[in-house]
Structure 1
Amino acid sequence: MKATWKGTLSFGDIDIPIALYKATEKHGDLGPHRVHAEDGSPVRHKRWREEEDGETEDREAAKGHRHSVSRKIVLNDKSMASPPPPDRKRVDVLASVDEGGVDPMLFGQAYYVGGTDPIADQWYVLFRDALRESGRVAVTRVTLGARESLAVLRVHDDLLVLQTMSRPGEVRRPTGIAPRSDITVGPEELKMAMHLMDILSVGFDLDEVHDDRR
């Protein structure tokens, strides 16, 4: 398994050398692609310059904003650059919270956390076991790529797992989606639904659920 990130896990005065490995992967890409209807050859998109009504090369393209109807602001590498975070190769533990204290809606990509220095494995095990015994997860800050993110560290079997998080303000409000508040169900209807839940829970194995389109 190839590491996607290497750095340190900072816990109090302890720095533990670690590497992150993506915990999930997609198998195959069976999505449709644009092709010619008659011969099946791939159909490509071209970059078109409206001012000259002609094709332009990728190296000539830049990013920009429309400031007004008649004015556009073109951005270059210098104007798009932002000050780098204090330390890009570090997972900083900010707090520990109860395992149920973080809304699963915030969770994103998961990474296995592995140690990179056998001498520091004792510190890794110490941190892992402290989380396990406390029933808590650690809220951390980490920079993956160019973006600084919040993430949680939790225990999965004998490993630490880091899972990126959206910030609470990034979760959209489900306005107008929930059923009307005046809709109710009777006790017999609820009892029947609960019985069905019990039937569906017997002997379920997620590994036996296959993607028929793969």
Structure 2
Amino acid sequence: MQTVWKGSISFGLLNVPVRMSVATARENVRFRTLHKECHTPLMQKKFCPHCNKEVEYEDTVRGYEYEDNKFVIISDEDLETIPVATTKTIEIVDFIKLEEVDPVYYDKTYYLRPGDGGEKPYLILRNAMRETGRVAVAKVTIRQKEHLALVRIIGNALAVETMFFPHEVRNVEELGIDKLEGKIQIRNEESEMAVKLVENLTTEFNPQKYTDDYREELLKMIRQKIDGEEIKEVAAPEPRPQVLDLMEKLRASVEATKKEDKAAKKAPTPRKKRKTV
């Protein structure tokens, strides 16, 4: 895996040299923008409206707009002089239980592997976290931004989960959900039926079970176009019968999930599809 950051984990008086790699990658189907007339890929050019000319990358600088159309220029050298310890260190602040963190704070996951000479302290830290069942709250600077982060164990490796700071998470109170409590009356039977529906659909999490159906169908359509096949219009799914009463909808859903649960237990486990492009 490609190293995107190199530094160390600061753990009390212990320093653990580590290398950071991106843990996830979006598998999006990418499109190019073409000229409609000749299907030639269009070029993305930087243009200065003041000088009325194209600008090469090497002639650009980084600027911060502090007022309308007023900028202060920030160079790479300026960024390197910022006196923040987390530019080269994952600074552990606290140890907590993972379940105490709401997923709304999570941003991106990175894997950590030992750097040169860091094998032993890496394993000591990992084993201590595993034995205590704790994760570490930390701070780290990646690409000119300091992140709140979580150091945790994935498999047998340490990983960093960058997080949003509290001021970056919008207040859920703005949705006004609490005001609905006094306006909406929910019958006990409706609550009980909803709980049964949740229980019927409850299972162990298996990430292999979930597939990107849209991406698969999109690639299938692209392959058909490459092969010169006619693209057939897919018929719209049959509309479900309308059930006007909420209680009847809940009851019908509970009965349907009971049948699906029995069928799923009898059905053989599907083989994993091979990826094709």
TM exceeding 0.5:
yes
- 2:167 matched residue in structure 1: 169
Q: State the partner residue of 1:145.
A: 143
Q: Partners in 2 of 1:167 and 1:66 — Cα distance? A: 23
Q: Which has the higher helix share?
A: 2
Partner deviation per Cα, 1:19-45 (whole Å, 9 max, x = no partner)? 112111122x32444333343333445
Cα distance in 2 for partners of 1:116, 1:45 equals 39
1:167/1:156 Cα in 2 relative to 1: closer, same or farther (>3 Å)?
A: same
Give the aligned partner of residue 76 of structure 1: 73
Larger Rg: 2
| 1:9 lines up with 2:9 in the alignment | yes
Paired residue type of 1:192: M
| Mapped contact 1:112–1:159 kept (Cα < 8 A) | yes
Comparing 102-111 with 73-82, greater Cα deviation is found at: 73-82
When you count strand as a share of all residues, which structure comes out higher?
1
Deviations 1:122-146 (A, max 9, x none): 3222212222222221111212122
**How many correspondences in the alignment?**
208
Q: Pick closer, same or farther for the CA change 1:6–1:66 going to 2, 3 Å.
A: closer
TM-score (norm 2): 0.64
Percent of matched pairs sharing the same residue = 26
| 2:248 aligned partner | none
SS in 2 for 1:191: helix
Query: 3-state DSSP class of the match of 1:112?
Result: strand
- Which runs of no fewer than 5 residues in structure 2 stay unpaired? 216-277
1:126 is aligned to 2:124: yes
Greater shift in the superposed pair: 121-130 or 58-67: 58-67
Q: Distance in 2 between matches of 1:134 and 1:58?
A: 54
1:140 & 1:6 partners in 2: Cα distance? 16
Which ranges of structure 1 fall in alignment gaps of 5 or more residues? none
The whole-number CA distance in structure 2 between the counterparts of 1:177 and 1:40 is: 49
CA distance in 2, matches of 1:156, 1:204: 15
Task: Tell me the equivalent position of 1:136.
Answer: 134
Deviation, structure 1 residue 102: 2.3
- Corresponding residue for residue 95 of structure 1: 94
Q: Is the 8 A contact 1:97 1:139 kept in 2?
A: yes
Which of 151, 154, 165 is the aligned partner of 2:152? 154
The alignment partner of 1:151 has SS state of: strand
- Please give the secondary structure, in 2, of the residue aligned with 1:185: coil
Quote the Cα distance in structure 1 between the aligned partners of 2:171 and 2:86: 33
* Counterpart for residue 195 of structure 2: 194
Question: Which amino acid in 2 is paired with 1:6?
Answer: K
- Alignment pair present for 1:24 and 2:31: no
Q: What is the root-mean-square deviation in Å for CA atoms of aligned residues?
A: 2.9
Q: For residues 135 and 109 of structure 2, what CA distance do their matches in structure 1 show?
A: 14
Could you tell me which amino acid in structure 1 is paired with residue 115 of structure 2? T
Instruction: Describe the shift of the 1:61–1:21 C-alpha distance in structure 2 as closer, same or farther (beyond 3 A).
Output: closer
> TM-score, normalised on structure 1?
0.80
Structure 1: distance between partners of 2:64 and 2:120? 50
> SS at 1:133's partner residue?
helix
- For residues 117-167 of structure 1, give each alpha carbon's deviation from its aligned partner in whole angstroms, at most 9, with x where no partner exists: 4x5433222212222222221111212122222211112222211111111
In structure 1, how many angstroms separate the alpha carbons of the residues matched to 2:64 and 2:91? 34
